[in-house]
Structures are given as structure tokens and as C-alpha cells.
Amino acid sequence: MYYGGNNYESQTYEDQYDAIRGMNTYIAKVFGWMFAGLLLTAAVGYLVAGNLELVAFIVTNPILFFGIMIAEIAMVVVLSSRITKLSYGAAVGLFLAYAAINGITFSIIFLAYTSESIATAFSTTAITFGIMCVYGYFTRADLTRFRSILFMGLIGILVLSVVNIFMASSSIGWIISIVSLFVFLGLTAYDMQRLKAFYFGTEGDSVLRSNLGIIGALRLYLDFINLFLTMLRFMGGRRR
């Protein structure tokens, strides 16, 4: 799959303007889907959190709880690996289904933390996420060189998280939070830059470009969600 860069130096100024305008329209649409996913997650989470019996049933039923987790992972894998084969409607449907199911798991977070801490973490996340998106859009540095480092950081987070399930160490928890913060800030800038590569690299293939836009929305959605969870661990106040 070719994701070429955005080299258009040989174009006239008018052509460059049209290309940039088209790219900005494309990026705005991707962000629209990302925000739609976030709103759907929040709405489902809020509704499920309002039904304590349903939450208790999910949490106390290991098969159902882990089934939800597996379904989320499966959707991300299918979207990432089959995006060039799926129709645009199917890609959008999978993304929104993932966001809705993720809202079920978020209902537990809504019940575990106070409204004030959730609002503070969300505001902080929105600001930092926005700053990194702006950086990813305007920087001339090739952020793909940091891809291996970011991927290693993700692996480290997963390994430490699994280890901490058994150790329940607050020190390891802080290490996970600090590493997560830097990794997902970096991924936000990286994924933002990738949107530009998706637009120009598809060379006018509108179907592929649209599908890759859904992958872009999913990646930014995941970056925002993980940044939010990290901020919540840093500053979140749990309900008593």
C-alpha cells in the first residue's frame, strides 16, 4: 500500500492552493468522524452508567466483560488490516460500532471518578491533543522516524500493564502513566501528519482516500481516549 508524501513543489501556486484546500477539507471530515466517535462513546457510557444493575451485570460476568474486550480488539484489527477491502459504509459502521461498545467500558470510568475530575481530565486532554495536532500538521520534520520508538513504547505499556495486574504496584502504575503520556502525545502528532500522507499518497483514489480517512479517525480517536485515561490517572479523583 502506498502512502506517499505531500511533495507538490512543481505545482503552480494555484494548484498548491487547491491541493491544500482539498487536504484541509479531507482532514476536517476525518476529525468530524473522530468527534462523532467520541460523542457516541460518551453518550453510551453515560446511559449505561445510569443503569447500575446493567453495569453490575457486565462487571460480574467475566464471559461478557472479556467478550466485550475481545470484540473491541477484533474490530480494530479488522479495520486496520482490511481497510482497503471494506466498503466505505462498512468501515464507518465498524468504527461507530467500536465507539459504541467502548462506551460500555467507559461507563465504569464514569462511575469510578467524580464528574469534576472527569471534566478536568477531558479539558486538559483536549488542549494537549489540540497542540500536538497543530504541531503534527505544520511541522516539516518527518515524524515517521519516531515510529519504531513509539511502537516500542506501546509494547512497553502493554507489558507493564499485564505485569501490574498481578503486582498492583503504584510505582509501576506511575511509570505506565508517564510512558503513556509521552507515547500518545507523540502518536497524536504522528497520526496527524499521516493524514496528510493519506490524502496526497492516494493520488486521487477517492475510495481508498475515504477509507483511509476512517482509519485516521480511529487512530486519532484512540490517541484522544488513551490521553484522556492517562490524564485521569494523574489528576482523577475517585468517588468514595
Phi and psi angles of residue 203, each rounded to the nearest 5 degrees, phi first:
50, 50
Which pLDDT does position 240 carry in this prediction?
A: 64
Within its chain, how far is the Cα of 124 from the centroid? 16
* pLDDT tens digits, 41-71: 999 999 999 999 999 999 899 899 889 999 9
Give the whole-angstrom CA distance, residue 199 versus residue 82: 19
Mean pLDDT across the chain, nearest whole number?
Answer: 88
Instruction: Give the residue with greater pLDDT, 39 vs 16.
Output: 39
In the chain, pLDDT over 90 holds for what percent of residues? 58
Which pLDDT does position 110 carry in this prediction?
A: 87
Q: What is the b/e burial string over 154-193, where b = at least 16 CB atoms within 10 angstroms of the residue's CB?
A: beebeebeeebeeeeeeeeeeebbebbbebbbbbbbbbbb
Which pLDDT does position 4 carry in this prediction?
A: 45
Cβ pair 177, 234 in contact under 8 A: yes
Give the three-class secondary structure for 113: strand
Which pLDDT does position 2 carry in this prediction?
A: 37
Q: How many CB atoms lie within 10 A of CB 230?
A: 25
pLDDT at 11 over 70: no
Which pLDDT does position 52 carry in this prediction?
A: 92
Reference 213, options 35, 30, 22, 82; nearest CA is 30
> Tell me, what DSSP letter sits at residue 144?
G
pTM of the model: 0.88
Cβ pair 9, 207 in contact under 8 A: no
Domains of the chain by residue range: 13-235
Which pLDDT does position 233 carry in this prediction?
A: 86
Looking up cell 490517572, which residue turns up?
233
